[in-house]
Structure 1
Amino acid sequence: MKIALICPYILSQPGGIRSHVFALQKEFGKNGHKAIVFGPRSRVPENYGSKVKLIGTGIPVNSLGTNATLSAAITPMAGWDLEKYKFDIIHFHQPFAPFLPAQLLLSSPGPNVATFHSYLEEEKIPSYGESYFSLTKNIIFPKLDKLIAVSDKAAGVFKRYTKRHFDIIPNGVDLSRFHPSVKPSHKFLDGKINVLYVGRLEKRKGVDYLIEAWGKLRKVKNIRLIIVGEGPMKEELHETVRERGLRNIVFEGAISEKVLPS
């Protein structure tokens, strides 16, 4: 089959949904399918080869407490490639992300599948978010033939806007990268039990709750918390660790995807 994977976020910027999309492309290829990723251009030079098509432009923004991309295509012919390649399935990720997915969806010949990745707490959705969802739900949902969510929580908020069924398919793990035979980092091979957090340092990820819980393990000597990632809460988290005198917490900052499995 020919499959289009629509990612609304800048492909040069690390992120969970971007990783999910490229992992899907890899697995589809292993199974004999041809998958092409579509995503917005960024402000840095990019060359991903023939299996990636850059369309429109993306601008990094902070939205709902996390990093996101505001993307759009200026030309009304934004979806021409979707018709050109005669795809058997067109898979949209975060179809409500403004605005590129909606642009492509309107011109998509289908069949159209969508995966909803993020959990949004209802009470924390700003008024402009509610307005956007309310205005676009009757445009986006009718164009989607199948709805997928990575969890019940991710589906929950959007069930306010549609009565349709969501298939729950949790995020997978790339076992070709993450497996027991990967040589671990020598830096932490000292006999301690290592607990690892990988993700942006922001409120939505709950890393502050992790550090709070870690404080309850003061009497446990042979453990260590390793925090990998950057984000707006970095200084606040460092200060919390200092103020509470928490030990065995290591902030590693951002690391490359290549060394992450170790």
Structure 2
Amino acid sequence: MNIIQVCPYDLSIPGGVQTHVTQLSNELVRKNNKVVVFAPSPSNPGSESEVNCEIKHLTSSTRIPWWGTSIDVSVLKPNEKSQILQFFDEFKPDIIHFHTIWNPVMQTQLLWMLPSSVKKVGTFHDTPPDRGLGKYIGANLMKAGAKYYLPKMDEIISVSETQTKAMGADPNSLPDNFRILPNGIDAESAKTIEKESNPDDEFRMIFIGRFENRKGVFELLEIYRRLQSEMLTKKISLKLIGNGPQYSEMNGFINEHSLDGVTIHKDVNDQEKNRLLLNSDLMIAPALYGESFGIVLLEAMALGVRVIGYGNEGYLTIGEKYGIENFPSPGNRDALFALVKQHIKMSAEAVKKLTSKGLDIAAEHDWKLIAQKIEYIYSR
């Protein structure tokens, strides 16, 4: 099949949708499909996610803040529309797969331009905030958007029950063309990385995510500050992987409180991210709200790394299988602090048992399995 994957986000900036699009595209190429990824022009060309197919940069984008996170806004100009129409004539796509199609406004423009013969598939990834003003405005906007876009899709994919409900759909009573299909992970690419030896008296923690309020990085920094004053049996360290608007503020906090062992790693590529993750003991995901699934949890589990975090609705999609005791209520900093201490002291037998459970859960989400299901959706 000739397939176009449309990513509304800059592929040089790490994110769950970007990872989903690139890894799905790679697996579809491995399965002998011809794939082209449509995306905005990268702000940092050397840091684009690795993908084994052509990336067609359609237009520029502007990143704007949006309820504690950010979105890329891009608009196709008349000359860019002409080039895309010419590409449609030459490539003759069978499928165009939109991701978070309501992200303004490039994808909507593409939808209006498509030849009628092209099958339209939409994967919906995001959820509105579950607190504050955004809880009410965001929820209503998403349901209104769903009423407009869902009827225009031949096939609909939602990444979780949480996301499905956010669109106003009932997970127990979905139409024939609507499926709940979780995110996938590419565990194979990380198997070539060698794990470094870890001294028994050292405990290495890691955070991976955007440096913004929604992801709760300051929740983790406060916990680390408290840990430093504890009489722990092991030396601790914390790696923060990502970038975002709170970067300077984080640096100030780390210096002000003399947080030894904390390092920030900006704009790392996928291989370096996996290397840092593989050589960690515990991945902490303190996202407060707005998570639809939690692919970062699966990526850690696939590498044999334990995970804990706040139990927002998206993370609980995985957390309920892994062990809900590892996911206290969002914002319950005392509970998360106690949980970190518990993992520092965890016996080798308990570590092995939890790691094994994580590997089993991750295996269920291998892209080889997920992509096979998506190919079936394409062929319907």
| Equivalent of 1:148 in 125, 133, 157 | 157
2-side partners of 1:160 and 1:194: how far apart? Answer: 41
Change (3 A) 1:104 1:170: same
1:261 aligns with 2:274: yes
1:230 aligns with 2:236: no
Change (3 A) 1:252 1:85: closer
2-side partners of 1:185 and 1:33: how far apart? Answer: 37
**Equivalent residue letter for 1:229:** G
SS at match of 1:120: coil
2-side partners of 1:138 and 1:144: how far apart? Answer: 11
| Equivalent of 1:100 in 89, 106, 123 | 106
* Larger displacement relative to structure 2 (241-250 or 142-151): 241-250
Q: Deviations over 1:187-210 (max 9, x none)?
A: xx5442322212211111122233
2-side partners of 1:257 and 1:119: how far apart? Answer: 25
Report which structure shows greater RCO (CA 8 Å, sep ≥6). 2
Offset, 1:232: 1.7
**Equivalent residue letter for 2:194:** K
**Equivalent residue letter for 2:63:** P
| Equivalent of 1:64 in 55, 67, 70 | 67
Offset, 1:96: 0.6
Change (3 A) 1:95 1:198: same
Partner of 2:301: none
* Larger displacement relative to structure 2 (48-57 or 26-35): 48-57
1-side partners of 2:134 and 2:224: how far apart? Answer: 29
Q: Deviations over 1:185-235 (max 9, x none)?
A: 68xx54423222122111111222333444564343344221112222234
1-side partners of 2:35 and 2:185: how far apart? Answer: 19
SS at match of 2:10: coil
* Larger displacement relative to structure 2 (102-111 or 37-46): 37-46
SS at match of 2:168: helix
Q: Identity of paired residues, percent?
A: 27
TM-score w.r.t. length of structure 1: 0.79
**Equivalent residue letter for 1:183:** E
| Equivalent of 1:121 in 129, 135, 148 | 129
| Residue ranges of structure 1 left out of the alignment (5+ in a row) | none
| Equivalent of 1:174 in 182, 186, 201 | 186
* Larger displacement relative to structure 2 (36-45 or 198-207): 36-45
Change (3 A) 1:12 1:236: closer
Q: Deviations over 1:35-60 (max 9, x none)?
A: 11112235677999972222233223
Change (3 A) 1:64 1:193: same
2-side partners of 1:253 and 1:143: how far apart? Answer: 39
1-side partners of 2:193 and 2:45: how far apart? Answer: 32
Change (3 A) 1:219 1:115: farther
SS at match of 2:218: helix
| Residues 1-262 of structure 1 aligned to structure 2 (within 5 Å) | 1-42=1-42, 51-75=54-78, 77=82, 80=85, 81-82=87-88, 84-108=90-114, 109=116, 110-122=118-130, 123-125=132-134, 133=142, 136-159=145-168, 167-179=179-191, 181-184=192-195, 189-191=198-200, 192-214=202-224, 217=227, 218-220=230-232, 221-241=234-254, 247-262=260-275
Which has the larger strand fraction? Answer: 1
2-side partners of 1:58 and 1:161: how far apart? Answer: 34
TM-score w.r.t. length of structure 2: 0.57
Offset, 1:129: 5.9
Let me know the Cα RMSD of the aligned residues: 3.6
* Larger displacement relative to structure 2 (192-201 or 131-140): 131-140
**Equivalent residue letter for 1:261:** N
Tell me if structure 2 keeps the 8 A contact 1:102–1:140: no
1-side partners of 2:268 and 2:183: how far apart? Answer: 21
**Equivalent residue letter for 1:143:** K
